[in-house]
Structure 1
Amino acid sequence: MDLNKILEIIKEENLLAIRFEQTDTNGIARSKLVLARHFKEKATKGLNFALCHLAFDVQLNVLALNTGYAEEIGFADAVMFPIFESFQILPWLKRTGRILIEPTWKGSEVEGHPRVVARRQLEKLRQLGISLYSAHEHEFYVVDKETKKPLNEDKNAHSAIRDTPYYNLLNKFMEYLPKVGVDVEHVENEYGPGQLEISYKPSFGISAADNAHTYKTSIKEIAILNGYMASFMSKPYPNKSGSSSHFNHSLWDINEKVPLLYDANDPLSLSETAQHWIAGILAHAPAIEVLMAPTANCLTRVTPHTFSPINATWGFDNRTCDIRVKINGPEGTYIEHRAGAAGCNPYLSLAATVAAGIDGIVNNLKLPPQVTGDACEEAEIPPKTANLPTNMEDALTALTNDETICDALGKDFIKCFTAVKMCEAKQAREAEARGDTDWAFNFYFEYL
């Protein structure tokens, strides 16, 4: 896909407008509609777009100070340029296309932008001769748009009859998502009332995070147009199942042909590269938790016996661990990083996982013993196993105290991200102090 090809499609399909779309720090899609007749100009000269979107919360209510991208630069515009290969026609919107964009500031890319952060980690990985093949596995809740009641009131995962009342909505998801590059494999209802999961095929490189961003935005838009509201808020109901975004991935050679995780001659069937990679993720698990589960609400999932990991553990096909390893031969072996919450920004969960894994490889970190039982039970885990933080203050402290992760992701990003999240944590504390038990739902559910 290049500019000329896109211009041909715009003409052939008689498109009215193309949505120039980016992620913000929180993973929310921010966009401007550009009329089709101006697409070429904006695609080549750039589109002005306020850079301070990186400094706002989910609802754009509160601007975090000292992010580097707001008051320090006079709330100036970035100049956004499109990623041509991301162009899609949105089949649920009339005569509308979409293209992802990245910001530049004074002629340079913005180092604190989540997509840039993710790209840079993948570039570092490729310098080691390794490419990443990955996909996010998102759960989400669907409610009636007006009443906010879930699609169903029971909890009974995978029961076939639960899908029947809203089969038309599922059909829309299955019809439309592949048309925007999300290659859906299967659809299932999950444990919570109105909770769903739709899994899709993995991709190499940054396209995996682009697919996750596209998937989340598409699900929300399709739901709205059909009388529903979909939310990737991680824990919308305190006493019901949380929603995760497990990051499934494998490592391949630079040409994306040779798998690198499996070793038939190793007692664990894992290559040295795989073992160092997993060890790196575990070594930095407390620090990257706030990137895998980046809201005050996400961190409430970190509770024993809820299938959300609570410590830096790994095991074979063990859903109680942070890292679940699936051995399926050379090409089918993969790693599931289970710390991810549905409310994560997929660019950042990818970047965090890669940054930690790279450190494991570069420094030959040793893989700790596996957990074969329940990782929530102290007797089952190795001595001195680190716990994952359960609140924003502790999570941000763990991040900022980890020099390796901070250096990898860059000071500009760390400054912006921590400022935004400290501001969010303050709002959560204030809501708790005034007894506002609905704050989290009202703050996150609609837009996240």
Structure 2
Amino acid sequence: MSSSSGFIDKHGLWTEDQRARSKEVTDRIAKDGVKLVRVAWSDPHGVSRAKTVTSEVFRGAMTNGYNINVATATLDASGARVFSSFTRGGGLGLEEMTGSPNLIIVPDPFTFRVLPWEPTVGWVLCDDYFTSGRPFHFSPRHVLRKQVERLSGRGLRSVVGLEVEWYLLRLADDRLTEQNLGAPGIKGRALRAYPVEPGYSFHSETSFDLMHEPIARLASAYEALDLPVRSFENEWGPGQVECTFGPADALRAADNLLLFRTATRQIMRRMGYLASFMCRPKVKGLYSSGWHLHQSLVDSAGTNAFTPSESGIPLSSLGMSYLGGLLAHGIPATVFANPTVNAYRRFRANSLAPDRLAWGNDHRGVMLRILGEPGDPASRIENRLGEPSANPYLYVASQIITGLDGIDNSLDPGAPDTDPYSTDRTRLPKSLPLALDSLSQSALFRREMGDLFVNYYLALKRKEADRFAEFVAANSLDPSSDEITDWEQNEYFDFF
């Protein structure tokens, strides 16, 4: 079949730049002796899913895409089926979802890499489509791309920098047992692991040196993968690491985060470690991890549109309105930054995490920290709300949606907060169900993401919250307790 008659060309799914890059990818596969390629996509949880194909089959996928099952979009984090896939409408009222049908994933040639820990294996991120060529309704990458295109229509780009915390732990078990095996809806016991350094000695060079070998291996891999990781820091908890990223356009930043998490977990597992992006694992002494998202808008000339024009003003007027939008819709946006039961234990006073909708100038106790000076091209807003297991596409999309609403309505964020844990501001949700209720009532997210996607996401996450509630009730636990449960550890520790 000629390239002009393939699925990609028939439906106009590639730009000319992607088409040109696809030729470079084909040449590299031949030159580097790539034998297998992992064609990957993001599930709704922001976890990388993949099929492995031969290089010959992959060349065909660069014309016609590749078939996958829609199933990964219908399962919660435990593998439990959330929707009635085998009934008419697939439990979603959509004829095209009946019977758990095939989708076609289309490689994005700009995301192609050769895996440094497996040098005959390629990796490429794909977009998912129905066989009709329509974008898949529930694709997180499509959700973000829509918001990026909204910005582009205004002559703007979203630039995003990442600060992600995670845990490096040494595995205590060298093999799985029957206790580690679960079933759909029931997670097996999490693998046992222990810290590699004692923790609570912030930025200790000696403690960090205990992690040098795995960190050095990761640094080499990130460079080979062209991931813009700038630094590694020994954070607060035992074995807690923070990685910072250089700024990138919003879609590229989200793609980078997806690859970063899956690469980190795979490389560490091969070395006998476990890398966990769970917010707060149930390991004695561990502290909650966060994901801080730095963001600004850049105009068509490449100028930072958030940079203030004079001293005494934290951001430009456009930047202040964007900030106002983040505050005005911060409660319904919370679930996209904190999609797990475990995350809501993090919102406590004086904890290096926010507990309410507050903003301030270079203040680490607020939710929205402003870093801006006249003439500073790096002027930006740092949202300190997120947890490291958040879906990067939905987290970033939520920021653009709420920020643009602030611009469109000239929303005023009010005065900065200098005592954020005492200020009279709206408190963040105390649980996943409360955050989901807020999203359900958001006219803005329903308008911009669509009722179909919002209702789908609510059903997916409520299934998860309901399973947790059943565990709490069955074990007569206090749902308001700060103690991490076995359910959370089993559910999230080795999933994220």
Structure 2 residue 59 is the aligned partner of structure 1 residue 14 = no
* Residue in 1 that maps onto 2:167: 141
What's 1:429 paired with? Answer: 469
Cα contact 2:197–2:238 (8 A) shared by 1: yes
The correspondence for 1:117, drawn from 130, 139, 143, is 143
- Report the structure number with the largest CA radius of gyration: 2
Determine the structure 1 residue equivalent to 2:55. Answer: 36
Q: Which residue of 1 aligns with 2:180?
A: none
Answering whether residue 158 of structure 2 is matched by residue 158 of structure 1, we say no
> CA-to-partner distance for each residue in 1:265-284, whole Å, 9 max, x for gaps?
36324211000000000000
Matched, 1:439 2:483: no
Taking the aligned partners of 2:66 and 2:94, their CA distance within structure 1 comes to 17
Determine the C-alpha separation between the residues in 2 that align with 1:130 and 1:11. 38
What is aligned with 1:95? 120
- Asked if 1:181 corresponds to 2:237, the answer is no
What is the CA distance between 1:399 and its match in structure 2? 0.6
C-alpha contact (below 8 Å) 1:213/1:346 kept by paired residues: yes
Q: Any idea what the Cα deviations from partners look like across 1:22-44, whole Å, max 9, x if unmatched?
A: 11011111000010111111221
**RCO comparison, higher one (Cα < 8 Å, 6+):** 1
Query: Larger deviation: 344-353 or 137-146?
Result: 137-146
- Matches of 1:224 and 1:333, distance apart in 2: 38
Deviation at 1:185, TM superposition (A): 1.1
**1:129-178 Cα shifts (integer Å, max 9, x gaps):** 21111122110011122241121233222100112222110101111112
- What CA distance in whole angstroms lies between the structure 2 residues aligned with 1:184 and 1:23? 21
Identify the match of residue 390 of structure 1 among 430, 436, 439: 430
Q: 5+ residue gaps in structure 2?
A: 1-19, 85-90, 174-191, 478-484
Please report how far the alpha carbon of residue 205 of structure 1 lies from its aligned counterpart in structure 2 after TM superposition.
3.3
Asked whether the 8 Å contact 1:69–1:75 carries over to 2, the reply is no
Counterpart AA for 1:369: A
- 1:6-85 mapped onto 2 (5 Å cutoff): 6-65=25-84, 66-67=91-92, 72-85=97-110
Distance 1:267 1:326 in 2: 12
Query: What TM-score do the two structures reach when normalised by structure 1?
Result: 0.94
Q: Which amino acid in structure 2 is aligned with residue 420 of structure 1?
A: L
Question: What is the RMSD computed on CA atoms of the aligned residues?
Answer: 1.8
1:233 equivalent to 2:259? Answer: no
Of 336, 341, 361 in structure 2, the residue corresponding to residue 296 of structure 1 is: 341
Q: Which residue of 2 aligns with 1:260?
A: 305
Q: Could you tell me whether the CA contact under 8 Å between 2:314 and 2:361 is conserved in 1? A: no
- Are residues 228 and 347 of structure 1, via their aligned partners in 2, closer, same or farther at CA, if it must alter by over 3 Å? same
| Corresponding residue for residue 401 of structure 2 | 355
CA change 1:334–1:322 in 2 (3 A) is same
What secondary structure sits across from 2:382 in the alignment?
strand
- AA aligned to 1:231 is S
Whichever residue aligns with residue 251 of structure 2, its letter is: I
Structure 2 CA distance for aligned equivalents of residues 68 and 100 of structure 1: 29
In structure 2, how many angstroms separate the alpha carbons of the residues matched to 1:386 and 1:150?
36
CA offsets per residue over residues 363-401 of structure 1, 9 Å max, x none?
A: 11112111012x111xxx2x4x22211211110111111
Query: Does the aligned pair in 2 maintain the 1:112–1:410 contact within 8 Å?
Result: no
Identify the residue that residue 240 of structure 2 maps to in structure 1: 195
Q: CA deviation at 1:72?
A: 4.5
Aligned residue for 2:341, secondary structure, equals coil
1:220-258 Cα offsets, whole Å, 9 max, x none, are: 111111110101001113863211111111111034x11
Partner Cα distance (1:372, 1:37) in 2 = 60
Is the contact made by 2:308 and 2:372 (CA closer than 8 Å) also made in structure 1?
A: no
Cα shift at 1:71: 10
Q: Displacement of 1:69 after TM fit?
A: 7.7
Range with bigger deviation, 241-250 or 404-413: 404-413
**CA–CA distance in structure 2, aligned partners of residues 150 and 197 of structure 1:** 15
**CA distance, structure 2, for counterparts of residue 326 and residue 55 of structure 1:** 40
**Equivalent residue number for residue 107 of structure 1:** 133
Secondary structure at the residue paired with 2:386? coil
Tell me, what secondary structure is at the counterpart of 1:338? Answer: strand
The Cα shift of 1:292 comes to 0.7
Which runs of structure 2 are paired with 1:367-378 in the superposition (5 Å)? 367-373=413-419, 375-377=420-422
Q: 1:44, 1:26 → 2: CA distance?
A: 28
- Per-residue deviation at 1:67? 4.9
Q: CA deviation at 1:62?
A: 4.0
Compute the displacement of 1:97 (Å): 0.6
Q: Secondary structure at the match of 1:2?
A: helix
Distance 1:298 1:267, change over 3 A: same
3-state DSSP of counterpart to 2:455: helix
- Structure 2 residue aligned with 1:170: 215
Give the direction of change, closer, same or farther, for the CA distance of 1:69–1:19 in structure 2 (3 Å limit): farther
Specify every segment of 5 or more residues in structure 1 that has no aligned partner in the other structure, as ranges. Answer: none
What percentage of aligned pairs have identical amino acids? 27
What's the secondary structure of 1:78's corresponding residue? strand
TM-score (norm 2): 0.86
Amino acid at match of 2:276: S
Identify the range of structure 1 (435-444 vs 260-269) with the bigger mean alpha-carbon deviation.
Answer: 260-269
Q: Which sits farther off after the overlay, 141-150 or 195-204?
A: 141-150
On the 8 A contact 1:67/1:419 being kept in 2, the answer is no
What is the SS of the residue equivalent to 1:108?
coil
Paired position in structure 2 for 1:276: 321
State the 1:68 CA deviation.
Answer: 6.1
More displaced 10-residue stretch of structure 1: 393-402 or 411-420: 411-420
| Aligned equivalent of 2:185 | none
Distance (whole Å) between structure 1 residues aligned to residue 461 and residue 57 of structure 2: 37
Q: Distance in 1 between matches of 2:102 and 2:261?
A: 26
